[in-house]
Amino acid sequence: MTLEELDKKYVLQTYKRDYTNFVKGEGSTLFADNGDDYIDFASGIAVNSVGHNNPTLVKALQEQVEKIIHISNLQVIEPQAKLAEQISTLANYDGAIFFANSGAEANEGAIKIARKYGETRFDKKRYKVITLEHSFHGRTITTVKATGQESFHTPNFSPYPDGFLYVNGLDAVYESIDDETVAVMIELVQGEGGVQPFAKEAIQKLEKHLKEKDILLIVDEVQTGIYRTGKMLASNMYEISPDIITMAKGLGGGVTIGAVMTKHKDILTAGDHGSTFGGNYLSTRAGLAVLEILSELHKSGKLIETIAYFTIKLKETENRYQNLVKDEVGLGAMRGLRAKDNDTMRVVISKSMEHRLIILPAGKNTVRFLPALTITTEEIDEGFRRFEEALSSI
Ligand SMILES: *Cc1c(COP(=O)(O)O)cnc(C)c1O
């Protein structure tokens, strides 16, 4: 059987996948089994934040694997405590953290914290969570219900948990709040929804309003977190201090991890929440190595330079190919170009793949770029050379 046949026979077909077989990665280049090199502008959907085969991450993992990979959370785990401290320090946020294994799970934790807050802090129970249209919060039954896209709420998986409502835009949040509202959950840049950032003033105004009403602000930083937008958290960029922040994608550099951080450290107590794998030695050691690499990149000014260079190249390309892609959107190393329509987006992505460049779709018509934060100038140049070749061929 070919690999494609094997996959189609034994793996549940929940993805429309490409069958290029990648066998090795180096920085922002991936190599297929036939030796072809591909420039990686997707980094496993913002996961490979420090690129492939990063020597610091590899060494940290090799050393850890030889000692302990996993013990249960009934014992203290040194890198877990240290990673929690690092996240809190780098984000300049006085919070405590629960570690999970994915973005959806981190968001589940956030919702549980909010629900218990709503149950225990008020005379009348508060439980409703307001989210936004075009948001994305995960694929579990609860986080899919929290996701503000009707197409996700098919009757195939119903009934869904109660207590979620979606509104169209930040302004609509205010009028949707009632005496049962416990939290508002948002992304600062909607990733899956089309790489759409919100205005800083509008977010700060919302934060202030929610604080006055004692309603929790949950910021889903699963995609925007861990230096993706240029700072440790997008919340740092927006100069806000949410009640709850979730993280995942870039934190482990490819090792599965999720985290929910809150300043309300005493809401959850022993027995309220748990995870068999969450925060184990392997994933938290990975997180420590990733933060060591990225915080240094940030401090030295190199990250800002990389983002600036990527931005220039993106704008140049946009200017040259207005017929196909226009309106450059996004923030930091989370960028998009709006294609004319859905068909154009799909063609641009498949043509890019033919020219050995990996990019991603987002929303209905956005071509998305999520390069590793360690990407080099040469890799950026080569990626855009291939991208323009692909666009020229359409
Ligand atoms: C990817 C993503 C999730 C889901 O993360 P998983 O690890 O796939 O569960 C949730 N929220 C946002 C904003 C994301 O980008």
Q: What is the pLDDT of residues 43-53, one digit of tens each?
A: 999 999 999 99
**Which atom number of ligand 1 is nearest to the Cα of residue 103?**
5
Ligand 1 centroid from CA 313, angstroms: 28
Q: Is 331 in the pocket of ligand 1 (CB under 6 A)?
A: no
Ligand 1: residue of 136, 141, 256 to mutate (most ligand atoms within 8 A of CB) is 136
CB neighbourhood size of 162 (10 A): 9
Distance CA 318, CA 338 (A): 9
What pTM value is reported for the model?
Answer: 0.98
pLDDT at 81 over 90: yes
Residues 157/208, Cβ–Cβ less than 8 Å: no
**Which atom number of ligand 1 is nearest to the Cα of residue 135?**
13
pLDDT at 16 over 90: yes
Amino acid identity, position 133: E
> Buried (b) or exposed (e) across 41-51, using 16+ Cβ within 10 A?
bbbbebbbbbb
The closest of 140, 95, 375 to 246, measured between CA atoms, is: 95
pLDDT digits (tens, 9 = 90+) for 258-315: 999 999 999 999 999 999 999 999 999 999 999 999 999 999 999 999 999 999 999 9
Q: Is 192 in the pocket of ligand 1 (CB under 6 A)?
A: yes
Interaxial angle between packed helices 342-354 and 377-392, expressed in degrees from 0 to 180 and rounded to the nearest 10: 120
Q: What share of the chain is helix, strand, coil (3-state, %, to 5)?
A: 40, 20, 40
Q: Is 46 in the pocket of ligand 1 (CB under 6 A)?
A: no
pLDDT digits (tens, 9 = 90+) for 173-216: 999 999 999 999 999 999 999 999 999 999 999 999 999 999 99
Distance CA 95, CA 292 (A): 20
CB neighbourhood size of 70 (10 A): 12
pLDDT at 133 over 90: yes
According to the model, what pLDDT value does residue 326 have?
Answer: 85
Residue 370 region by backbone torsions, left for phi larger than 0, else alpha for psi between -120 and 50, else beta: beta
Q: Is 223 in the pocket of ligand 1 (CB under 6 A)?
A: yes
Interaxial angle between packed helices 302-320 and 281-299, expressed in degrees from 0 to 180 and rounded to the nearest 10: 80
Ligand 1 centroid from CA 247, angstroms: 9
Residue 185 region by backbone torsions, left for phi larger than 0, else alpha for psi between -120 and 50, else beta: beta
Q: Is 109 in the pocket of ligand 1 (CB under 6 A)?
A: no
User: Structure tokens of 85?
Assistant: 């401290």
pLDDT bin (cut points 50, 70, 90) of residue 254 is very high
Long-range contacts of the stretch 317-323 (C-beta < 8 A, 24+): 317/384, 317/387, 317/388, 317/391, 320/388, 320/391, 321/388, 321/391
Q: Is 102 in the pocket of ligand 1 (CB under 6 A)?
A: yes
User: Structure tokens of 170?
Assistant: 């930040």
> Whose structure tokens read 């949040």?
173
Query: Across the chain, where does the E strand assignment appear?
Result: 22-26, 29-32, 37-40, 96-100, 128-132, 164-167, 181-186, 189-190, 196-197, 216-220, 244-247, 258-262, 325-331, 334-339, 357-358, 360-362, 366-369
Ligand 1 centroid from CA 228, angstroms: 14
User: Structure tokens of 45?
Assistant: 């959907």
Residues 219/244, Cβ–Cβ less than 8 Å: yes
Residues 201/312, Cβ–Cβ less than 8 Å: no
Beta bridge partners of 334: 331
**Which atom number of ligand 1 is nearest to the Cα of residue 191?**
15
Ligand 1 centroid from CA 310, angstroms: 24
State what percent of residues in the chain have pLDDT above 70: 100
Beta bridge partners of 26: 29
Ligand 1 centroid from CA 122, angstroms: 31
Ligand 1 centroid from CA 2, angstroms: 31
Q: What is the 3-state secondary structure (H, E, C) of 308-336?
A: HHHHHHHHHHHHHCCCCEEEEEEECCEEE
Q: Is 248 in the pocket of ligand 1 (CB under 6 A)?
A: yes
**Which atom number of ligand 1 is nearest to the Cα of residue 138?**
4
**Which atom number of ligand 1 is nearest to the Cα of residue 256?**
7
User: Structure tokens of 344?
Assistant: 């154009």
According to the model, what pLDDT value does residue 138 have?
Answer: 98
Identify the residue whose C-alpha is closest to ligand 1 atom 10: 137
**47 phi, psi to nearest 5 deg:** -95, -50
Ligand 1 centroid from CA 189, angstroms: 13
- Mean pLDDT, residues 94-120: 98
Identify the residue whose C-alpha is closest to ligand 1 atom 8: 103
Distances (CA, A) of 378 to 45, 105, 382: 21, 37, 6
- Mean pLDDT, residues 89-96: 98
Residue 48 region by backbone torsions, left for phi larger than 0, else alpha for psi between -120 and 50, else beta: beta
Ligand 1 centroid from CA 82, angstroms: 24
Ligand 1 centroid from CA 258, angstroms: 9
Identify the residue whose C-alpha is closest to ligand 1 atom 6: 103
